């Protein structure tokens, strides 16, 4: 990462304690982790699997961590429908297409 006009360590140290801001990234189709927290997870067949509690970093694929403790690799996410901002209980819906047996205990 670099900042315009900051070329040396002394330049960077002069910014210590300064809040640095950047313009928001507007990238159609990009899903941000904070948008997934609280979303309902459903299968393509319509089964409700629960709510996303967290997203865990994993080398193979990030994992959706559901409130039940179930882990679902992000590679199986087929769509994310955003919820209504500032509306309690409407964090959106994550649709997953899971291989047979993934959630069998």
Tell me the β-bridge partners of 64.
55, 72
The full set of domains in the chain, from first to last, is 28-96 (2.30.30.240)
pTM for the predicted model, two decimal places: 0.69
- Residue 90 or residue 64, greater confidence: 64
Residue 3 pLDDT grade (very low, low, confident, very high; cuts 50, 70, 90): confident
Q: From 17, 16, 22, select the one nearest 3 (Cα to Cα).
A: 22
Q: What is the pLDDT of residues 35-89, one digit of tens each?
A: 899 999 999 999 999 999 999 999 999 999 999 999 999 999 999 887 765 555 5
């Amino acid at each position: 990462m670099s900042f315009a006009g900051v070329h040396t360590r002394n330049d960077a140290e002069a910014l210590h304690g300064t809040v640095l801001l950047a313009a928001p990234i507007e990238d159609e189709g990009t899903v941000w982790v904070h948008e997934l927290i609280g979303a309902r997870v459903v299968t393509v067949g319509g089964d409700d699997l629960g709510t996303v509690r967290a997203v865990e970093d994993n080398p193979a694929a990030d994992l959706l961590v559901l409130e039940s403790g179930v882990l679902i690799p992000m590679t199986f996410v087929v769509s994310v429908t955003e919820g209504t901002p500032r509306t309690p209980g409407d964090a959106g819906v994550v649709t997953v297409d899971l291989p047979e047996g993934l959630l069998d205990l």
